[in-house]
Structure 1
C-alpha cells in the first residue's frame, strides 16, 4: 500500500468545512486512509466536480489523490492521469513526486523498461534523503534486471557510499555484477560482507566456492566448501559438489574427489569433461568397470579427450582381463593423432593383442604391425613388431588379405618367403575344400613361387592334379600327377603312396566308362581303359593293403575296365577278389560279377553269385535287379520251374514295381515253354488288361497269345480273340511301318529327324501302339538339346500314364526340370510319385533328395526334416548332400523353435565338413544363444566362428554383426559400434550391399540408443539466481515501506 502523508489543511470557516463539498472531501480522505481506493476515488471525483476553479487547493488535492487511487488500483490509464496532473500543475510541490511515483509503480509491476523511463525523469535532488536511497536502489535494480550491468553497477556503487537501508541487497547486486565481470576478488570481498546475513546465507557459499575455483585456490575451496554441503539447496547441490570434486581432482586426491562426484552425477546432466573426470577417478581408484562405462560416454568427438579416454579404456579392459575389448579400444586410440605417444603405444598394443587373441576376423594385426614398422622404424618396438608380423602371417586365417599384404613387400627375406608359401598353400586348401577348384589351382601354383618348404611345394603339385581331376580335366590331372612323381620331396608326402591309384582313376574317368562309343572315340576309350588297368595294377601290386579302401576300389575299377574291354573272365576274377577285402557292402561287385558270368554263359556261376547277392544283401539297391537276373539265369539254364518261382517271388515282394508288366510276359513265356497255355494266358492277359501303357510288353503279349492258341490247336480262335480286343491287323502293320522310320533315325543319332518322324507317327496313327515310346524319344532329344521346356511337355505326358516302361525315368527328368526352374510345388509332385512307384534304392534316393530340397525351399520345415533324415539314411551319400541335409534339418528345427535339436544337427555339420556350410551352422548356433539371451555364450561362440578355419567372409560378417547385437543388448555401445565399424571398414565379400546396408542400419540404431540414454540422464538447470525475493526481504527488514511488499488484487481494477 502506498501511503503519502500530507500536511493538514486548515480552513478558517467552520461553515465552509461542514458544507457539502468539504464533507465529500473529508469522506474521501477517510476512505483513502482505510485503503478503500475505489470508494475514495469516487468521492475525490465528486469533490473535483464541485470545485470548478482548477487552481483551488482542495480541487488540486482531490485531483492528486484521485490519481494516487488510480495508481493503487492499477488503472490502465494511470500514467495519463498522473501526467495530466503534472501538466496542469507544473509548479505545484506534488508534481515533483509524480515521475518518482510512476517509476515505483512500474518497478512494482516488474515493467522495468517503464520504471527506468520514469526514474530517469526524476531529479534525484528533489527527493528526500530516504527517497533518494530508494530511487538509487530501484533504478539500479531495474537496470540490473534489464541487463544494463554497467549502469546498475554505478548506481549500486553510489548507494553503497553511505549507510542505508539497502546496504545488504545493494552489496549483493554489486558483488554479483563484479562476479559476472570476472572481478573475482571484488566480488569475493562483497559476498563475504553479507555471508552471515540470514537472507543471503544459503546462496553466498555457492558464490564464494565458484570464485575460489575460478581463482584456482583449490586448497582454500576444499577447506571452505564441504561444511556448506548440507545447507546448499538440492537444485544446486550437484554443481556445488562438482566444484569440490574438481578441486580434490586438481590436487590428485581421486578417492575424495570421487566422493563428491558421486553426489554430482546423481542430480546433474554430465558433460564430456565431467564424465572424463569421474571416469579418471574410477580409473585411479582401480574401479575399472565403472570407469569404462564413463570413458565410453566421452568418445563421441574426435579430439584429444577421446583419444585419452580410449587409451584408459584399453588399459582398464586389460586390468580386468578383457583383452578383446582392450584390443578394440587400443585400435580406436591408435587412429587419432592428438597425442603421438598414445598413438604409438596404442597401435603397438592393438597389434599385439590382435595377434595374441588370434581371432580378429580381418587380420587387422597385419596392417597394424606394418603401419607401426612403417611409421616408427627407429622405435624400440619396431624389431619386436617385425617378429610379431612374421608370426601373424604364419597363423592367419584370413589368407586373401595376408597374401595381398605380403605381395606388397618387394624384398622378402627367407622367413617372409616361407610365410608367403604357407599362406598361399592354406588358401589353396581352403578353396579346394569349398569346391572352388579353378581358384585352388591358381593358389597352389603360387606355392611354388618361393619353394622354401619342399613338403608344401610337392603337396601343392599333387593338389593341382587333384583339382583338375575334380574339374573333369582328366588329361591335365594325369600330366600333373606325373609331375608330382618327380618333384623333390614328393616321395615323403602322404599322397605319394596313392599316386598310381589317382592316375588310374583319371584314365578310367577319361574313358567315359558309362558311354558306348564308336569309331575313333572307341579306340581312345580302349586305350584309356588299358592305361587305367596299368596304373591300377601297379598300385595293387605295390600296395597290397587288404584293409585299404583305395585298394578295394582299385580292384573294382580293374574289374570294371576288364568288363568294358569285354574280358569277362578277368573281370570276374577281380570282382571276386574285391569281395574278399574288408567287411564292406559287396553288392555292386556281385551284381557286376553275375553280369559277366552271364556274358560268358557261366549260368551256374551267375546263379550262385545272384543267390549270394540276394541273400547277403536283401536291402541292396541291386536286390530288385538281382532277382530279375536270377530268374533270367534260371531261364537261360532251362530251369524253368526255378525261374517261374523266382519271378513269382519278385511279384510277391514288389507288387508295385515298374517291371511287373515285363515279369508277367516272362511268366507267360515260361508257362508256354512248360506247355501250360492256360497259366500262360492268365499272365499275358494281366499285362494287356492291367498295363495298357506298357507298349513293348503289350506287343509281346499279343504275339505270345498266338502260341497259347496254337498249343490249343485253335489259331482261328486267335484271330477271333484279336478282333474281340479291337486289334486291327492292317493298322498294326501301318503302325509298325511308321515306327520303323523312328527307330532308324534313333539309330542314326539324328534327334531333329527323330522328333520329326515321331511327330508324324503320332499324328498319323489312330491309337498308336508305341505312343509312350514316341513321347519318350522326343523328350530325350529335347532334353539333350537343352530345350527343357519342350522336354518337360513330353515327360509330363508319360507321367500321366503310369505303369509304362518309361514312367519312372520320366518322373525323374520332370522332377529335375521343374526343380531347376524353381517350380518346387510341381517338382515335389513328380518326386513324390517316384517314391510311390519305385522300390529301387537309387530311385528312392533321387526321390528323397528331390523332396527334401523342394520342402526346404517351400519352407515346410517338418517335411524337410522328415526327408532330410531319409537322405541321411541313404548309402553312398555325396558330401555336399550330406552337409545340406544336416544343415537344413538344423535350420528347420530352429524355425519351429526346437533349438536343442537344431544345435545337434548344426554340430553334425561342423563335425562333418569345414566347408562354408560349417560356417553357416556355427553362425546359427551363435544365433540360438542370442535368442536365449545367453550373451556370454553367444560372444564365446562368435569368437569360435571367427577362429574357424577356413573362414568364409559372408558368415564371418554375419557373425560380427550378431556380435554387435549381442553387445547392444547389454548396452555396451562402444564394443557394439566397434564390431559394426569393422564390417563397414573391411568387408569386401559376397552380398556386400546386403551386409553393408545391414551394418549401417545397426549403427544408426546403436547411435539412437546412445542419444536416448543421454536424454534420460538427470538434467542440471542453468545457474539462475532469483534475486528479487532477497531484495524485498532485505528491504522489509531494514524498514522499507510496506507498499513495496504489497500483493495487488488485480480484480479490484476491473
Structure 2
C-alpha cells in the first residue's frame, strides 16, 4: 500500500513539476518580450531590437508575440536607418497580411518618412494604409500628415479635402487645417474661402503671425484698404523681418490706393530701407508717383527713371509723368524724349494724344521747327477730333513760319484751300525761303518758280520787296534783263532805303540796264550805288561799269576819270581799267597815252584776260598810224605766243592787210589762207575770201579761190534760217531739261549739217545733254572733241565737264590736268571756284590734307562766289585739319562754316564740332551742340538723324540710360532712312545686352542674399 501511495505521489508530483518547469520557461520568454516592449517605448531601439530578436529566437515564444516582435524589430531597423529596414517591414506585411499590425506597418512607415520630411515616400506608404483600420487619434494623425505631405508637394487638390475634413471637427489639427486650407484657397485665388479659414486659424496665436501676409493680401485684393491697414499695423510689431517687409509694402499700397501719399511714402521708404535687392518696376513707379504727388520732384524723376523703358502700359504712364516733371524743370530735351516714349507706346489713347501734342509744342519751344512741323502734322492726321486741334493748327502755322523744311511746308500749305491770314503769311515766307535756297544752289529756274508763288501772297510788303529783288537777280543771272529790270523796279516800289537789300537793288538795276544797253539809266543807278562807299559789296565792279557806261555814251573824260579811280583804288580789275583807258585814249587820239596803258597791261598783267587784247590793240594802233611793220610785229607776237587766244583769226586778218599794204602779197596770201583753212565759220572768213580774191587779181594768179569759196558756202549755207530753226528747236529742248529728246535732235542736226557754223555748238549741247542725263561715258568723248576742235565759245565749259567726269571716274591725274587748264583760262571767280573745288576734291580723295587746306584757302581768298562756296571750303579745311589731329584748327574752320550760312556744309560742320566734343568726353557740350544743329539745320534729315545717334551715344556715356534708349527708340520709330534705323537698333540692342548682363549679375547677388535670409529664418525656427 505504501508503494502505491508513493507511486501515486510521484504521479501527482510529476505533472506539477512539469507545469512548474513550463511556467518558469514561459515566464522567462515573456520577460524578454516585455523588456523589448519597454525598451521600444523608451526609444532605446537597439536594446529593444536585441530583445525582440532574442524573443523571436526563443524556443518557447508564442506565435502572435513572435510576429509582434518581428514587426517591432523591422520598425526599429527603419528608425535606426538600417539599410534593410524598409525591406523588413515590407516582408512582414507580405508574410503576415492578416496580422493586425500589417496595416499599421504602412502607417508607421509613412510616419517615419514624414518625420524625415521625405514627403514623397510618406505619401507612398500613407496611400497603402487602410485608414478604416486606424482608430482614434491614429486616424486623425493619418489624415493630417497625409494632407500635409500632399501640401508640401504642392498637390493642393489632393490635400484640400483632408484639411477641410479636419478643420470641421474638434481635434488637435483644427487650427493648422484652417491655416493650410486657407493657404491653398489663397494660392487658388479663392479669397473669400481663404479669408474664412485664415481668420479662424488666426484665432490661434500660433498662426496669428503666419496668416498676416495672406490676410493682408486678401484685404488688398478685395479693396478693403482700411481694414488691411487696421489689421496689419496692429500686427506689424509681432512679425519677423521678412514677414514685416511684405506687410509694409501692402500697407504702403493700401495708403496709395486711398491717395494718402504721405502715409504711403512712409511705408514705401521703410520697405525700401529693408530691401537688399532691386525693386521691381511697378513698385518703383508707385513710389515715383507718390513722390510726384508730394511735390518731391527730384525724387520722383529719380524713381521714374529707374522704371526704365519697356513695351507696356506702365512705361507709357511712367514716360508721361517724366515728361511733365522735366517740363516743370524746363529740361525740355529730356521732357521731349519722355513724351516721345509716351506717344509711341499708345496703350492709353488719351495719354498718347496729350504726349504727342506736348512733344510737338516742346519742339517748337526749343526752336526745332522741322521736328515741330513733323509732329504737329502727324498729330493733326492721327487726332482729327482732338480738343487740341485748333491749337495744333495755329502752332503748325507758327512752325512753318520758322521752318527750314520749306518743301514740306509748301506741300502742306498748298493742300489747304481756304488759307487764313496767318497761313498766307506762312506760305509767302516759306516759298520765298525755298526760292532763296534754290538761288544759292544756282538752281535759278526752280528759284523763280518759288519766288512767283511767294509774290502771289503779298501779305508782308517788306518780304514782297525782297522777293522781287531776288526775282530780279534770278532773271539777271539768266540774262533776261528786261524781266530783271521789271522785277527790280517792283522791288524798289515795295522796299525802303533801310532794307538790307536796297543798296544791292540799285546795283542790280544798274547791271540789268547795262546789259540791256540802256547805259544812260544804268549809269544813274551805278552812281546811286557808289554812294554806299567802298564797303559796298560790289563797289569795285560798280566803278568799272560806271566808267564803261560813260565810255559807251561817249563821255570819254568821265570814263577816263572812273577808270583811273579804279586804278588808284587798286581795284582787282585794274588790268581791265588800264586796257579800257587805253581804248578811250586811242579814241580821243591820245595814241601815246593809249600805248602807255596797253604797255602797262602787257608788262604788269601777263596773266590778265586782257593781255592778248592789249597786244592786239597796240598793234592795231600802229596799223591805223600806217606803222605796218610795227603792226605786223605786234600781231605776230600774239600769234606766236598765245595759241589759245580767240583773237587769232582777227590777228591773221589784220596782219594780212598790213602785209597787203606793204605789198608783201605772198605773206598776205598765207594769212588769208590760214583763216580759210582753220576758221571757216569765223566772221573774218568772209573778209579773207575777199582779200584773197583781190590778191589773186593783183598777182594774176588762179590759186584755190574756187575751192575755198565752195568750202565757205558749205560751212555757211544760204538756207541758214532753216538750219537755225532746227538748231533753236533742239536748244529749246535742252533748256527745258528734256534731255532725251535734245540728244536725238542734236545728233540729227550734227549728222545733217556736219560743217555748219552752229555744229560745234550743237556738239557741246549734245555732250552736255548726255552729261545731265547721267550718261557720262557718252558725254566725255564729245567734250574731248569740243576741246580738241576749239571752235566754240563753250570750250572752257567743256574743259570743266571733262575734269568733273574724270574726277567722278577716279581718273585723278586726268582730272587734275583739266582742272588746271580750267584755272589757266579762268576769267572770273566762278571759273576759279570750279577749278579750285575740283583740285580740292582730288586732294581729298588722295588724303593730301595740306593741299586740301591750300585749295580751301584759295577758294576763300579768290573764289568765294557765294555762301555755299565759302562753307564748302571751310568744311573741307576743317576735315583736313581734323584728319591730321589738328583739332583746334579744325574747330575754327567748322565754326566759321556754321556762322557763314545755314546750308548742308554748315550742318555737317556743326556735327563735327559735336563729334569732337564727344571724343573729348565733353558730353553735355556735345549734346548742346547737337540740339542746336537740330534747331538750325532741321531741313537736312541725314545730319538730323546722325545728330540723334550721337546724342544717344552721349547720353549713354553719361549713364543717362533712359534718355539714351528713348532717343534710339525715337530714331527707330521716326527716321525715314533704313541705314539710320538699323544703326539705332544696333546701338539699342547693345545697350539692352549690356544692361541684361549687369542685371543678371545683380540677380545672382540677390539670390544669394535671399538664400541667406531663408537660412537665417529657418535657424531661428529650429
TM-score under structure 1 normalisation? Answer: 0.66
Q: Is the 8 A contact 2:492 2:505 kept in 1?
A: no
Show the 5 A alignment for 1:40-439: 60=67, 64=71, 67-68=74-75, 71=78, 81-107=88-114, 112-124=119-131, 126-127=133-134, 129=136, 131-149=138-156, 151-156=158-163, 172-177=179-184, 179-180=186-187, 181-182=190-191, 183-195=193-205, 197=206, 203=210, 205-207=212-214, 209-214=216-221, 215-216=224-225, 217-221=227-231, 223-228=233-238, 231-233=240-242, 238-262=245-269, 264=271, 266-296=275-305, 305-330=314-339, 333=342, 349-364=358-373, 366-367=376-377, 370=380, 374-376=384-386, 388=395, 390-439=397-446
The residue that corresponds to 1:915 in the other structure is 903
Distance 1:237 1:934, change over 3 A: farther
Distance 1:870 1:171, change over 3 A: same
Which of 534, 540, 555 aligns to 2:526? It is 540
Q: Is the 8 A contact 2:540 2:571 kept in 1?
A: no
SS across alignment from 1:450: coil
Partners of 2:142 and 2:1020 in 1: how far apart?
A: 18
The residue that corresponds to 1:474 in the other structure is 479
The residue that corresponds to 2:918 in the other structure is 930
Q: Is the 8 A contact 1:533 1:561 kept in 2?
A: yes
Q: Is 1:489 equivalent to 2:493 in the alignment?
A: yes
The residue that corresponds to 1:994 in the other structure is 979
Q: Is the 8 A contact 1:865 1:889 kept in 2?
A: yes
Which of 640, 664, 678 aligns to 1:746? It is 678
Which of 580, 589, 607 aligns to 1:593? It is 580
CA shift for structure 1 position 184: 4.3
Distance 1:875 1:212, change over 3 A: closer
The residue that corresponds to 1:776 in the other structure is none
Distance 1:391 1:97, change over 3 A: closer
Cα displacement string for residues 682-715 of structure 1 (whole angstroms, at most 9, x for unaligned residues): xxxxxxxxxxxxxx9xxxxxxxxxxxxxxxxxxx
Which of 490, 502, 508 aligns to 1:502? It is 508
Q: Is the 8 A contact 2:830 2:865 kept in 1?
A: no
Distance 1:86 1:330, change over 3 A: closer
Show the 5 A alignment for 1:353-752: 353-364=362-373, 366-367=376-377, 370=380, 374-376=384-386, 388=395, 390-470=397-477, 473-475=478-480, 478-486=482-490, 489-490=493-494, 492=496, 501-502=507-508, 505=511, 531=517, 533=519, 535-540=521-526, 545=531, 547=534, 548=536, 550=538, 552-557=540-545, 573=560, 576-579=563-566, 582=569, 584-593=571-580, 596=583, 604-606=592-594, 608-609=596-597, 622=608, 745-748=677-680
Partners of 1:423 and 1:1030 in 2: how far apart?
A: 74
Distance 1:287 1:393, change over 3 A: same
Question: Mean alpha-carbon deviation: is it higher for 158-167 or for 434-443?
Answer: 158-167
CA shift for structure 1 position 232: 1.5
Cα displacement string for residues 216-259 of structure 1 (whole angstroms, at most 9, x for unaligned residues): 32431452254357x323xx665444223223323434344334
SS across alignment from 2:371: coil
**Higher RCO (CA 8 Å, separation ≥ 6 residues):** 1
Q: Is the 8 A contact 1:348 1:368 kept in 2?
A: no
Partners of 2:1017 and 2:166 in 1: how far apart?
A: 17
Cα displacement string for residues 164-203 of structure 1 (whole angstroms, at most 9, x for unaligned residues): 77677656534533544423443443553454x5xx7975
CA shift for structure 1 position 884: 1.9
CA shift for structure 1 position 905: 0.6
Distance 1:994 1:481, change over 3 A: farther
Show the 5 A alignment for 1:980-1019: 980=968, 983=971, 992-1005=977-990
Q: Is 1:959 equivalent to 2:944 in the alignment?
A: no
Gap runs ≥5 in structure 1: 1-9, 510-527, 638-660, 667-695, 697-736, 751-756, 758-778, 798-807, 1037-1054
The residue that corresponds to 2:664 in the other structure is none
Partners of 2:1019 and 2:265 in 1: how far apart?
A: 40
C-alpha RMSD of matched pairs (Å): 6.2
CA shift for structure 1 position 283: 0.8
Cα displacement string for residues 802-822 of structure 1 (whole angstroms, at most 9, x for unaligned residues): xxxxxx999999866632422
CA shift for structure 1 position 932: 2.5
Partners of 2:566 and 2:550 in 1: how far apart?
A: 16
CA shift for structure 1 position 101: 2.9
Cα displacement string for residues 627-666 of structure 1 (whole angstroms, at most 9, x for unaligned residues): 99699999989xxxxxxxxxxxxxxxxxxxxxxx989x99
Q: Is the 8 A contact 2:926 2:954 kept in 1?
A: yes
The residue that corresponds to 1:892 in the other structure is 880
Distance 1:836 1:73, change over 3 A: farther
Gap runs ≥5 in structure 2: 1-19, 624-635, 642-647, 649-668, 683-710, 712-759, 768-777, 789-795
The residue that corresponds to 2:743 in the other structure is none
TM-score under structure 2 normalisation? Answer: 0.68
Distance 1:891 1:323, change over 3 A: same
Q: Is the 8 A contact 1:782 1:791 kept in 2?
A: yes
Q: Is the 8 A contact 1:568 1:599 kept in 2?
A: no
Partners of 1:35 and 1:218 in 2: how far apart?
A: 52
Q: What count of residue pairs does the alignment treat as equivalent?
A: 865
SS across alignment from 1:474: coil
Q: Is the 8 A contact 1:137 1:156 kept in 2?
A: yes
Partners of 1:1027 and 1:142 in 2: how far apart?
A: 21
Show the 5 A alignment for 1:774-813: 786=767
CA shift for structure 1 position 904: 0.7
CA shift for structure 1 position 90: 2.9
- Structure with the higher fraction of residues in helix conformation: 2
SS across alignment from 1:933: coil
Q: Is the 8 A contact 2:114 2:122 kept in 1?
A: yes
SS across alignment from 1:579: helix
Q: Is the 8 A contact 2:110 2:124 kept in 1?
A: yes
CA shift for structure 1 position 319: 2.3
The residue that corresponds to 1:861 in the other structure is 849
SS across alignment from 2:897: helix
CA shift for structure 1 position 906: 0.9
Distance 1:382 1:113, change over 3 A: closer
Q: Is the 8 A contact 1:815 1:827 kept in 2?
A: yes
Cα displacement string for residues 584-617 of structure 1 (whole angstroms, at most 9, x for unaligned residues): 43533345337647977966425644676799x8
Q: Is the 8 A contact 1:883 1:912 kept in 2?
A: yes
Distance 1:982 1:278, change over 3 A: same
Q: Is 1:818 equivalent to 2:794 in the alignment?
A: no
Question: Mean alpha-carbon deviation: is it higher for 961-970 or for 328-337?
Answer: 328-337
CA shift for structure 1 position 321: 1.9
Partners of 2:296 and 2:953 in 1: how far apart?
A: 26
